[in-house]
Amino acid sequence: MKSHQESPQDLVSQKHRGQKMIWHPFTQMKVGEHDHPLFIERAEGSFLFTPEGHKIFDGISSWWTCIHGHSHPKLTHALASQAAKLDHVMFAGFTHDPAIELCSRLHSWLPQNLSHCFFSDDGSTAVEVALKMAFQGQQQRGLTHKYKFGALHHGYHGDTLGAVGVGEPGNFYAELFSPLLLKCERLSVAEDPRRIVHHQENDLDSVLELDRINVQSFFAQFGNELAGFILEPLIQCAGGMRMWCPETLEEIRHQCDQYDVFLIADEIATGFGRTGTFLALDQTTVQPDILCLSKGLTSGVLPLSMTWATDAIYDLFLGTSESGKAFLHGHSFTGNPIACSVANASLKLFDEEPVLHKSQTLSDVLRTNWGTLSEMPQLTNVRTLGTIGAANFKSMNPGPGETKSATIGQQIHRKLLKEGILVRPIGTMLYLMPPLSTQPDTLKEAIFVIKNALKTL
């Protein structure tokens, strides 16, 4: 029985028991000494703090979510005041100001053909919504032979089964689930040589030509069967920070038009200033049919996502109640008012601070400083896109489940945590993706520490 007076020892053992129950994501729970999860007590700006007061630079924005830095006062204020007013209401048959404000505020930042928005809770559900919307939309316009999806090799779109089905089969052991997955055809695109610091000028033409031929033959083969084609514009993040060509994206858009395929842009990682522009798509001429947003939407404060669609898609779902055409999808927390309020406060910062200006300054500082990593003999393919810097460890090809590749990433992760920097390499790929509000000097200092750590590895 729980007593009324808990002694400090009780609390310690309770904490110990509770922690042993927690099953962590992407984690082998049969862990060794080094791998106990680190307690974080509080966070502020670009830094996390342990209970002992150890200060850690959040070099990956807490899984790419936290664009304005942690515990931004304007976001925490929006959260608290909305919570006191309206915490939640079901979204079928009800609506509220925070959701309405969010749609109209965000719309001005998006490609203007996107005029309707469906709310859900996280990146994976935004992708599920997009896939179901594309498929049902094709069915309802009579293109019933379109039952497959197209996607890029190395793509990552989330961990629910629909999203896994359009991700790279070799990533994160997705292959295991193949009997459960939807039908997907995959296209390979080349990396963009312009993103590499000190690249050779003459690589580009042959890369673009090869991509163009691959895109065209892919669509000639599969275009008629595809309901939608999903991709992460300009950079495949979880797939290894693979930066690819805007021209190739434009060719895919063109082919989608030729074959009546809905183009789904997954900007869950790239949105909200991460690549130097509001969307990565803003660096191209492409307007997608469907757009998925999440991670940066509330700057990592609360889970929330949106799937935007065109009038043409929205109209395919209109009919009488008996027509069976409605989009019958929803989640308990759809359009949560507190999350919407935080997203509104986050968007206001894009005007007030202004965030895109900071993102561009940080992008320049990153390219200059991260670029110096190309001097390191262990590294290759040192590249940047906006505020994302990446590089690969040489001569260690990360095969599926390859232990050596995991070891180098874990080694550098542990070593840098001790030095007060959070990086979490994916296989043999080392990267930085700091909050956009990071001070340039903080970023320079972090890269300096990373370089020194690499020297002693």
Ligand X SMILES: *Cc1c(COP(=O)(O)O)cnc(C)c1O
429 lies in the binding site for ligand X (CB under 6 A): no
Cα–chain-centroid distance for residue 287? 19
Apex CA 363: angle with CA 433 and CA 272, to 5°? 65
Closest-by-Cβ residue to ligand X is 123
Q: Which residue lies nearer to ligand X by CB, 154 or 367?
A: 154
Q: How would you classify residue 232: left for phi > 0, otherwise alpha for psi between -120 and 50, otherwise beta?
A: beta
128 lies in the binding site for ligand X (CB under 6 A): no
Contacts of 229 (CB under 8 A, 6+ apart): 149, 150, 151, 252, 256, 261, 262, 263, 264
Options 77-85, 121-129, 399-407, 434-442: segment touching ligand X (CB under 6 A): 121-129
CB of 255 to ligand X, least distance (A): 21
CA-based end-to-end distance of the chain = 51
Pick the binder of ligand X from 56, 78, 102, 127 (CB under 6 A).
127
CB of 279 to ligand X, least distance (A): 13
187 lies in the binding site for ligand X (CB under 6 A): no
Query: Helix (H, G, I), strand (E, B), or coil: what is residue 243?
Result: strand
168 lies in the binding site for ligand X (CB under 6 A): no
Query: Helix (H, G, I), strand (E, B), or coil: what is residue 228?
Result: strand
CB of 2 to ligand X, least distance (A): 35
Pick the binder of ligand X from 56, 75, 82, 122 (CB under 6 A).
122
What tokens does 102 get?
């969010």
Cβ burial, residue 66 (10 Å; 0-12/13-18/19+): buried
What tokens does 321 get?
């109640």
Are 359 and 276 within 8 A, CB to CB?
yes
Pick the binder of ligand X from 110, 230, 237, 373 (CB under 6 A).
237
HSE-up of residue 228 (Cα within 13 Å, Cβ side) = 31
CB of 223 to ligand X, least distance (A): 23
What residues numbered 286-345 form the site for ligand X, per CB under 6 A?
294-295
Query: Site for ligand X (CB under 6 A): how many residues?
Result: 15
Residue 232's CB is within 10 A of a number of other CB atoms, namely: 26
Are 274 and 433 within 8 A, CB to CB?
yes
Pick the binder of ligand X from 158, 371, 389, 425 (CB under 6 A).
158
Nearest to 298 by CA among 340, 267, 270: 340
What residues numbered 243-272 form the site for ligand X, per CB under 6 A?
266, 268-269
What residues numbered 138-157 form the site for ligand X, per CB under 6 A?
156-157
CB of 126 to ligand X, least distance (A): 7
What residues numbered 216-235 form the site for ligand X, per CB under 6 A?
232
Q: Which residue lies nearer to ligand X by CB, 45 or 233?
A: 233
Footprint of ligand X on this chain (CB under 6 A)? Answer: 122-124, 127, 156-158, 232, 237-238, 266, 268-269, 294-295
